[in-house]
Amino acid sequence: MQAMTAKTPALFERRSELLDFLLEVAEVSAGTLELDKLLPALAGLIKKVIPYEIFAILLAGEKGDTLRIHFAVGHREEVIRNLRIQVGEGITGAAAASGRPVLVSDVRRDPRYLNAVDATRSELAVPMTARGRVVGVIDIQSTRPEAFSVEDQGLVELIGAKMAMSLDNARLYRRVVRQNKTLRTLTSIAQEFSSILDLDRLLKSMSVEMRKLINYDAFSILLLEPAQAMLKHYISVRYDRRVELDNIPLGRGIVGTAGESRQAILAPDTSKDPRYIALTEGIRSEVAVPLVANNRVIGVLDLESEQVNYFTEEHLRTLTLIGPQIAAAIENARLYQQVAANQSRLENDLEAARKLQQHLLPPCCPAAQGLEVAARCEPAREVGGDFYDFFSFPKGRLGIVVGDVVGKGAAAALYGALVSGLLRLMVRQHPAPAALLTALNTTLIERKIETSYVALQAARWFPESRTMVLANAGLPLPILCRRGQASEQKVVGIPLGLLPSREYEEVRLTLEPGDVVVMASDGIIDSHDRFGQEYGRGRLVRLVEEHGGASAEELLGKIFQDLKNHAADAPAFDDQTVVVVKAK
């Protein structure tokens, strides 16, 4: 710093006055972390020693290669808003590049001068350095030549040296506050976007919410049409009004280049960017961010401003952070839109699936030696997870299976179809009910599907000994009715597909003429009426006891009619299956 000589005593006649001023500088520099308060305070300190006409504090950008005015007196508003000075350019840029003050007595004789104010004749630019780098420049101009002295330069250097660290800390503090605010806003926006499934409403919401982050002049979201390699404008907003714009080929313009390269693009001055396509008047800067979902580009988010150098690296980082959220929300909305558009087709497909599932059930009912057999399956929805099946063996022996897949609908039906197919493959190798359940459980564990399992009851009828062998894996207990007395038969086991290495027990029933065995899924037992009252095991046992003398088909009809009477108008919440066998 230059020594303070001739002019210093005029300002500070006593040493104590200089010390008081330096103490004031220290208090101001330590007084706040808010940049909007610190910059005017710095300007006020300099005003006390140099009554300036034209004044500016320029701060370095994040990369340290540009300077921008953050506080000014005497400069035009458009200069303050748009001026960006490269380090090394102009008098202030030269001060920043060298890290040393630049004092110019007559700017008209200095080729470095950038004419921001026509009346300027002299200029003093003093860099401020903190942590080994230039954080900004104090720039003072006058309409008089030779307006500033070496002593003025020394005073400004002194003030700048004291204030530089505080300015750097204030900028860091502002950045942290802004980042926290941005993250909170991003979280809120992401939650808002994820809750909207209508594409048009989602895009409108995006145009509104994005303004909370960046105050753009024009906003567009273009979605990729892969077949045409074209980015189609789905929404474009200018001055809060939707506008219609032409589509952009992939690879053309700033937007098309961002989409093709999968890289965000920041164009500080569109007039100097050869890629820029002028779709709207007055645009001076632009930022385009590709929207990527499932590792593929689905579109581009584009923001435009009428100000040169409006968008910053921080804006770019913010948009890059929220880009995946926007892409995911758009993908979800488009998928929902596709589902809604295809709802009729899906309903037709479900109806076809219902008919197919009914067709896959065996024709009821097999002619069995010494038995009457009746069976019915009623899905709660178009398709369901309940099923029954019959298997014929030599010597008139008959296999019977009743199954109930956890859950309802298409997923349960598909799992049920898998189980049915496996049963038909395995029943010849494992005809004994317990062995069949064990083998099937092992196979389902080997191809385990999370949250999917099946309750299943298997029986085998031996007509020569009038014996029925039963094994159970999680279905309600079978009911035996003999001479007007009905009771549940204790045969239990874990559902299939849940736990490995399960063994299952068997119960042997020797059936007398007129005996009835009823096997039912839990959709019968758990059925509720509109008041929430359960049908229950007891009611089913009593019904079988009351109508045990009827034929198998008649008893089956009585069960479903009683179930309907109980439910009244309440919809079935689970599939309902019953198999009735009666010894002749």
Residue 190 lies in a domain: no
Residue 308 lies in a domain: yes
* Cβ count near 279 (within 10 Å): 18
Distance CA 422, CA 74 (A): 87
* Cβ count near 17 (within 10 Å): 12
What is this structure's pTM? Answer: 0.44
User: What are the tokens at 356?
Assistant: 């197919």
> How far, rounded to the nearest angstrom, does the alpha carbon of residue 165 sit from its chain's CA centroid?
41
User: What are the tokens at 466?
Assistant: 């009038």
Residue 186 lies in a domain: no
Nearest to 403 by CA among 467, 453, 353, 468: 453
Residue 189 lies in a domain: no
- Domain shared by 151 and 226, yes or no: no
At which of 298, 317, 341 does a domain end? 341
Residue 184 lies in a domain: no
Distance CA 545, CA 457 (A): 21
User: Which contiguous run of DSSP H or E holds residue 65?
Assistant: none
Distance CA 215, CA 224 (A): 25
CATH number at 65 reads 3.30.450.40
Distance CA 475, CA 488 (A): 12
Residue 183 lies in a domain: no
At which of 324, 341, 358 does a domain end? 341
Distance CA 211, CA 204 (A): 12
Distance CA 92, CA 73 (A): 16
Angle subtended by helix axes 409-426 and 433-446, to nearest 10? 120
- Domain shared by 24 and 127, yes or no: yes
Residue 154 lies in a domain: yes
> 260 lies in which domain range?
196-341
Rg of the chain over Cα atoms, rounded to whole angstroms, equals 42
- Domain shared by 509 and 374, yes or no: yes
- Domain shared by 414 and 558, yes or no: yes
Q: Give the position of tokens 């009666």.
A: 582
CA distance to 195, 334, 416, 519, 531, per residue, from 357 (Å): 36, 31, 10, 20, 32
- Domain shared by 444 and 304, yes or no: no
- Domain shared by 573 and 475, yes or no: yes
Using DSSP's 3-state secondary structure scheme, residue 30 falls into: helix
Question: CA end-to-end span of the chain, whole Å?
Answer: 118
User: What are the tokens at 237?
Assistant: 């907003």
* Pairing assessment for the beta strands 54-60 and 66-73 based on DSSP bridges: antiparallel
pLDDT of residue 198: 83
The backbone torsions φ and ψ at residue 215, rounded to the nearest 5 degrees and listed phi first, read -85, 75
CATH number at 477 reads 3.60.40.10
Distance CA 37, CA 71 (A): 11
Residue 109 lies in a domain: yes
pLDDT of residue 382: 59
At which of 276, 308, 341 does a domain end? 341
> How far, rounded to the nearest angstrom, does the alpha carbon of residue 19 sit from its chain's CA centroid?
59
User: What are the tokens at 555?
Assistant: 């008893």
Distance CA 471, CA 503 (A): 10
- Domain shared by 231 and 111, yes or no: no
User: Which contiguous run of DSSP H or E holds residue 220?
Assistant: strand 218-225
- Domain shared by 382 and 320, yes or no: no
Distance CA 378, CA 380 (A): 7
- Domain shared by 474 and 507, yes or no: yes
- Domain shared by 477 and 336, yes or no: no
Nearest to 561 by CA among 548, 549, 543: 543
| Total domains in the fold of the chain | 3
Amino acid at 260: E
- Domain shared by 116 and 41, yes or no: yes
Run means of pLDDT, 10 residues per run, the chain, 584 residues: 40 59 70 79 83 88 85 87 88 92 92 87 91 90 90 86 82 74 74 80 87 88 91 84 80 94 94 89 92 93 92 88 88 81 61 61 83 90 79 93 82 82 91 95 88 91 96 96 94 93 93 96 90 92 95 95 88 87 94
Tell me the β-bridge partners of 11: none
- Domain shared by 364 and 324, yes or no: no
pLDDT of residue 279: 82
Per DSSP, 496 falls in state B
Nearest to 153 by CA among 126, 122, 129: 126
Amino acid at 150: V
